[in-house]
Structure 1
């Protein structure tokens, strides 16, 4: 139930800010994809073990694993820094409040092997002893 609510809140926050993915923010040039909730369960899914996460989600073959990049967190340490500064909405505030429950939060991005401008962005943390969070897909240009 917690993940379902998290996914709904992510969609509501993104919509309120006129973007399709809260993880990719307004800089995303693709409006094709939103964010989905993922549950990893118990295990060693710390930031340093990103390959384990990709394997758990069966995403280890279509991504450029050697190109994993950390995405800094903003908005009280809850969301990737892809959102424009000064961004605000009641829906975003609600999502941030929900994400405050997660401990050991971190975010990273990985380009698709077939199109390096398309990336998968992860926002993960612990719900108690189990890991979960959000995953989004979109365009990323440095």
Structure 2
């Protein structure tokens, strides 16, 4: 039986691979649609790509939207794709991703990202 530190370490490795794959799929779709000039062409390309990969259109579209909101140079490799997705519409996301809120101050969690978005909505900051 594996210990908690071993399980946590293995889980983090798998989560990192998942984050990488989600961003890579979104980036591939961005590359594909960059050549297209109309929304119908984008939707057709999305459908063909989703079918070819056996991934739902909604999932692939979500990956693409998050990749578009987070250019590669602005992503934080130590933060999950899900946290990037939660913060994707925040106008200060590029600064926020560098500075997790207290008390953790070392790593973002989904709960903290949602709290930041909830407080942003409450104060009425415009979303990006």
Fold match by TM threshold 0.5: no
Q: Which has the higher contact order (CA 8 A, sep 6+)?
A: 1
Q: Taking structure 2 as the reference length, what is the TM-score of the superposition?
A: 0.24
Could you say which structure has the higher helix fraction?
2
Q: Taking structure 1 as the reference length, what is the TM-score of the superposition?
A: 0.22
Which has the larger Rg? 2
